[in-house]
Chain A
Amino acid sequence: MPGPGLISDYLTELSAQLPALVVEELADGLDQTRQYYLDLGLDQAAATAAALAEFGPPPVIVAAFTRISPARRTARTLLAAGPVVGACWATALLTGRAWAWPVPLAGRVVFGLVLIGVIGLLATAAFGSKYRSVGRAGIAGCIGISAIDAAMLITVTLDVPAVIGPMALAVTASAVRLIFTARALRPVLTG
């Protein structure tokens, strides 16, 4: 029977990108759509073809789910907030003469590379078209940005005697972002 085989292939293509629960819901809808055409009098093959045509190509469905994925939403929020938090830290580090802090050069280089990598991951999550890669990049970006904020907060706690003025603002900005990212990570992980 060619009909169910085509549906199975269609669902397999969706399963490669979308979460199992989403595919389960789509499978139920596809089955009912096929039944609708069978009830209209079409044979198995024609009903299957009509149902698949009505559902639309898998890439279109995957793209529609990718646009609403929690990873994409969170990544876009973090990218939008990034310049604000970055400006807070730039002001705090310049006014706090951060170049005199006892942080080794290797540590500064690693920090810079991690920051660039995290921005790349968040950009992939924010603008990618593949649901799974958007999800993976979003998770890695969230963890990376949290590690950066945590590293900055720990460094300030250990090396800065008085957290006042621009430094207090930067610490608050990172703390707020850390809390936001922690709360957003759960739907990103389950999405």
Chain B
Amino acid sequence: MRAEELKGHLDALLLAALEGGPRHGYAVIEALRQTSGGRLDMATGTIYPALRRLEDAGLVTGSWSVVAGRRRRDYRLTPAGARALAAKRADWRDFTATISAALEGTPCPDLA
């Protein structure tokens, strides 16, 4: 999947990658690579500003650590981030169920 196809979903993907615990920027990218089987094709450099944007929004917090003499920034999901992730998951399920039903010509399942 190309970067433009992922627009609008990047925040949810990053929040999901941080759900299991704190990760630094590259570990987030690795997690997305592993969970997608390498099919998410994103410019790695743009993940970092996206993480900063989520931090500004209060959905993740960042903190510095030192690893092998190099400073590294770790990100952790906040309670607001966890709530945002749950909401984005629900929206996504609703969206995919609706579009799938429309594409396959079947009645849309009741998601309520």
A54 touches B44 (CB 8 A): yes
Q: B56 touching A28 by the CB < 8 A rule?
A: no
* Residue A32 lies at the interface, judged by CB distance under 8 Å to chain B: yes
Q: With a CB–CB cut-off of 8 A, which chain B residues contact A24? A: 71
Q: Is B70 touching A31 in the complex (CB atoms < 8 A)?
A: yes
Q: How far is the CA of A61 from the CA of B46 in the complex (A)?
A: 6
Q: Write the B22-54 contact mask toward A (1 if CB under 8 angstroms, else 0).
A: 001110011000000000000111101110110
B88 at the interface (CB under 8 A from A): no
B70 touching A28, Cβ below 8 Å: yes
Q: Which residues of A contact B49 (CB under 8 A)?
A: 61, 64-65, 67-68
Question: A26 an interface residue at 8 Å Cβ cutoff?
Answer: yes
Measured between beta carbons, the chain B residues less than 8 angstroms from A70 are 56
Confirm or deny: A25 has a beta carbon within 8 angstroms of a beta carbon on chain B.
Answer: yes
CA distance A25 to B72 in the complex (A): 6
Give chain A residues whose Cβ lies under 8 Å from the Cβ of B73: 25, 28
Q: From B30, which residue of chain A is reached at the shortest CB distance?
A: A36
Smallest Cβ-Cβ distance to A70: which chain B residue: B56
Judging by beta carbons under 8 Å apart, are B25 and A25 in contact? Answer: yes
Q: Are B43 and A29 in contact (CB under 8 A)?
A: no
A33–B48 touching, CB < 8 Å: no
Q: Which of A28, A64, A67, A68 lies in contact with B45, CB distance below 8 A?
A: A64
CB neighbours (8 Å) of B30 from chain A are 36
- The contact string, 1 if C-beta is below 8 Å from chain B, for chain A 17-43, is 000001011111101110010000000
Chain B, range 44-82, C-beta contacts under 8 Å to A: 44-46, 48-50, 52-53, 56, 70-73
| Of the residues A29, A32, A54, contact of B48 by C-beta under 8 Å | A29
A24 to B73, CA, bound (A): 9
A22 to B64, CA, bound (A): 12
B25, closest chain A residue (CB) = A29
Q: How far is the CA of A68 from the CA of B48 in the complex (A)?
A: 11
Q: A127: which B residues are within 8 A, CB to CB?
A: none
Task: Chain A residues near B25: list those with CB within 8 A.
Answer: 25, 28-29
A61's nearest neighbour on chain B, judged by CB, is: B45
Residues of A within 8 A of B (CB): 22, 24-29, 31-33, 36, 54-56, 60-61, 64-65, 67-68, 70
Q: List 29 A-B contacts (CB under 8 A).
A: A22-B48, A25-B48, A25-B71, A25-B73, A26-B45, A27-B70, A28-B70, A28-B71, A28-B72, A29-B24, A29-B29, A29-B44, A31-B70, A36-B30, A55-B44, A55-B45, A56-B43, A56-B44, A56-B45, A56-B46, A60-B45, A60-B46, A61-B43, A61-B48, A61-B49, A64-B46, A64-B50, A67-B49, A68-B52
